[in-house]
A and B are shown apart, each in its own frame.
Chain A
Amino acid sequence: MSATSTPPVPSTDVTPRPGRAVLRAELILFFREPGSVFWVMAFPTLLLLILGFIPAMTEPKEEIGGLSTVEAYVPVAVLLSMIMAGLMAMPPVITGYRERGILRRMSTTPLRPSSVLGAQVGLHAAASLISAVLTLAVGRIFSGVALPSQIFGYLLTLLLSVVCVMALGSLISALSPNTKIAQAVSISVFFPAMLAAGVYMPIQQMPDLMASIVETLPFGAAAQALNQATAGDWPDWIHLGVLALWTLVLSGAAARWFRWE
């Protein structure tokens, strides 16, 4: 129909790197969500910082095994950041991508939509691990909290916990048909998770029955393992086992029920 011929657009000849491009785009997007950045990367550290400025919080207490409240709250703040990343920040992003056809759109390109999910999980995990380092540093510098003595046990627990929370977040994203439901489900998992991690009361302070129930939950087991590693012991295999089992079940379920559209 049209007789005029449009000159072709010049093309570039570079090796395609879709995975890297997706990671870059999602990283930019992560930092454009000030809410997520604050709750994941700043809030847990701030909480610890404020506790450290209250004199009563830095005195050793018998009911938490001779630790000060600040000391007991370092592992709690570390877990809190993971919970924020995996439960509050990530699921609405992923369900939003599905709801608005972004994953479907990606499926028509050489890009694998799974790389978008991979980038989301990876970035949120990295953000909470960076936050963990910040928390440990702030505890050490401002409140004189000793760094974990069993460093490898601590690292292993951190890694297991972050994988577990990301699996939980992925399962919420998988099961929620839209962003609103994802947020509602996240909130209802969020409070029990915070309770188990010891945000309201460190696990050392919980009544025995409550502590033994909480230990069967991922964040309760993680809290116990982190406490043991902080004190210089290798974490009990039962706690690591509980974490690993939850991770296995949650990620299996997420993979089973995830829908691209």
Chain B
Amino acid sequence: MCRPGAGWHCEVMSLIEVTDLRKSYGGRPVVDGISLAVEEGEIFGVLGSNGAGKTTTVEHILGLRVPDSGTVRVCGLDPHVDRAKTTLIMGAQLQESEMQGKLTVAESLELFAACYPRAADWRVLAERLGLKEKLNTRFAQLSGGQKQRLAIALALVGNPRVVILDELTTGLDPAARREVWSLIEDVRASGVTILLVTHFMEEAQRLCDRLAIFDRGRVVALDTPSGLVAQSASGTVISFTPSRPLEEDELAALPGLASVTQHEGRITLGGTDETVNAVISLLARNGVSAHQLRVTDSTLDDAYLDLTGADA
């Protein structure tokens, strides 16, 4: 869906489309064949450790870099060539980028608002982002959380169709981080597509509809967070303390089993739904009761480590 008056249409293609993007710095490939597509209305996450190529990919999407090979399209346009148009579609928050230290929140918002033909009313935006009390505070005097909220406001002030947030919550304390998360959910609820770059599993799991896991310049997995968890070897974790010890052979024979650990009489099994059912019937067959039986999903953390082999 295109906004009226935008002047161009892109109803067929994805909002952002990256195809086989490659970029090397000093002979070292930083982005090594990345492909992904961000669809209208979703929160698309890019998850990976430092040096996985996340920021470089984002810089290409924003038109700040020229690819060695491959293509980047935003609304069907090349963001490096059609900069004048694509900068109207995208709002960005960049890693380690500030505003002029002595410019106030209001002045910063006013400056950015003046650049767009259909800018949002920055006073309303500031109020919604909890910056109303800080309008006359200079950038240098803001706390980390307030700076990030201003960064979101500046990314939104041009009424973009997609907002790119690069490591938005890095350096924030847990309370401020949660606050920013609910702001991001509000932004999406207002119909804006979000490309979220992060290295926090919890953040990706909570916010993203779909997630690309980057590792050494490649996409190693692309799915919904729950899909990624299910893809990993041990999607479900079963733990219990049996009323009497169980035969190790019997445990090892459980279907779908990925791991077994025993610690002070408590057994922890990694497996699938099938494993859960098999454990229950095993217990029933042997007349063993299970104390404190817990069945939990394995987290995105486990999936991430599985997929990137970072655990090894």
Residues of B within 8 A of A22 (CB): 111
User: 7 tightest A-B contacts by CB?
Assistant: A101-B97, A21-B114, A9-B120, A105-B97, A18-B115, A108-B92, A6-B190
Question: What 6 new A-B contacts, CB under 8 Å, besides A100-B98, A107-B62?
Answer: A1-B209, A11-B159, A12-B121, A17-B114, A102-B100, A109-B87
Candidate in A2, A9, A24, A104 with the most chain B CB atoms within 10 angstroms: A9
Chain B contacts for A10, CB-based, 8 A: 120-121, 124
Q: Does B178 contact A (CB under 8 A)?
A: no
Taking a contact as CB atoms under 8 Å apart, the answer to whether A110 and B121 are in contact is no
Q: A10-B124, A108-B90, A111-B115 are in contact. Are A25 and B97 (CB under 8 A)?
A: no
Q: Does B290 contact A (CB under 8 A)?
A: no
Is B99 touching A105 in the complex (CB atoms < 8 A)?
yes
Contacts of B188 in A (CB 8 A): 1-2
Minimum CB distance partner of B155 in chain A: A108
Binding site for B on A (CB under 8 A): 1-2, 4-18, 20-22, 24-25, 28-29, 32-33, 97, 100-102, 104-105, 107-111
Say whether, besides A8-B190, A12-B113, A104-B64, A25 and B87 are in contact (CB < 8 Å).
no
The reply to whether B100 and A101 form a contact with Cβ atoms under 8 Å apart is no
Is residue B158 contacting chain A, with contact meaning CB distance below 8 A? Answer: yes
B120 close to A11 (CB less than 8 A): yes
- Chain B residue at smallest Cβ distance from A17: B114
Q: Mark B167-190, 1 if CB is under 8 A from A, else 0.
A: 000000000000000000111111
Bound-state Cα–Cα, A139 to B107, Å: 39
Q: In the complex the two chains form, is B114's CB within 8 Å of A8's CB?
A: no
Kindly list chain A residues whose C-beta atoms are within 8 Å of the C-beta of B87.
108-110
- Kindly identify, within residues 84 to 128 of chain B, every residue whose CB is under 8 Å from any CB belonging to chain A: 84, 87-88, 90, 92, 94, 96-103, 107, 110-121, 124-125, 128
State how many angstroms separate the Cβ of A23 from the closest Cβ of chain B. Answer: 10
Q: Which A residues lie within 8 Å of B130 (CB)? A: none
Cross-chain contact A101 with B103 (CB below 8 angstroms): no
Collect the chain B residues with CB atoms within 8 Å of residue A102's CB. Answer: 97-100
Q: Which residue of B lies closest to A116 (CB)?
A: B100
Tell me if B265 counts as interface (CB < 8 A to partner A): no
Contact in complex: B92, A28 (CB < 8 Å) = no
**Residues A15 and B120 in contact in the complex (CB < 8 Å), given A22-B111, A104-B97, A110-B87:** no
Report Cα–Cα, A102/B112, bound state, in Å.
Answer: 12
Say how far B98's CB is from chain A's closest CB, in angstroms.
4
Chain A residue, CB-CB nearest to B157:
A9
Q: How far in angstroms is the closest Cβ of chain B from A123?
A: 13
The answer to whether A108 and B64 have CB atoms under 8 Å apart is: yes
Whether B29 sits at the interface, judged by CB under 8 Å, is: no
Separation of A28 and B84 alpha carbons in the complex (Å):
27
Which chain A residues border B97 with CB–CB below 8 Å?
100-102, 104-105
Decide if A6 touches B189 in the complex (CB within 8 Å).
yes
Tell me which residues across on chain A come within 8 A of B110, comparing CB atoms.
Answer: 21, 25
Q: Does B124 contact A9, Cβ atoms closer than 8 Å?
A: yes
B118 and chain A: residue at smallest CB distance: A11
Q: Does B51 contact A (CB under 8 A)?
A: no
Q: How far is the CA of A63 from the CA of B96 in the complex (A)?
A: 58
| Cross-chain contact B94 with A108 (CB below 8 angstroms) | yes
Task: Report Cα–Cα, A100/B92, bound state, in Å.
Answer: 16
Can you list 16 contacts pairing A with B, beta carbon distance less than 8 Å?
Answer: A1-B188, A12-B113, A14-B119, A15-B117, A16-B117, A16-B119, A21-B115, A29-B102, A29-B103, A100-B98, A100-B101, A101-B97, A101-B98, A104-B97, A109-B115, A110-B158
Report A28 CB to chain B, min CB distance, Å.
Answer: 6
Q: How far is the CA of A127 from the CA of B112 in the complex (A)?
A: 25
Q: A9, B128: Cβ atoms under 8 Å?
A: yes
Tell which of A4, A11, A97, A111 touches B119, judged by Cβ atoms closer than 8 Å. Answer: A11
Contact of B115 among A7, A33, A100, A110 (CB under 8 A): A110
Give the residues in chain A near B156, CB-CB below 8 Å. 9
Q: How far is the CA of A110 from the CA of B189 in the complex (A)?
A: 25
Which residue of the partner chain B has the closest CB to A21? Answer: B114
| Given the contacts A102-B98, A105-B97, A108-B92, A4 and B113 also touching, CB distance less than 8 Å | no
- CB B179 to nearest CB in A, in angstroms, measures 15
Distance in Å: Cβ of A98 to nearest Cβ of chain B? 11
A24: which B residues are within 8 A, CB to CB?
111
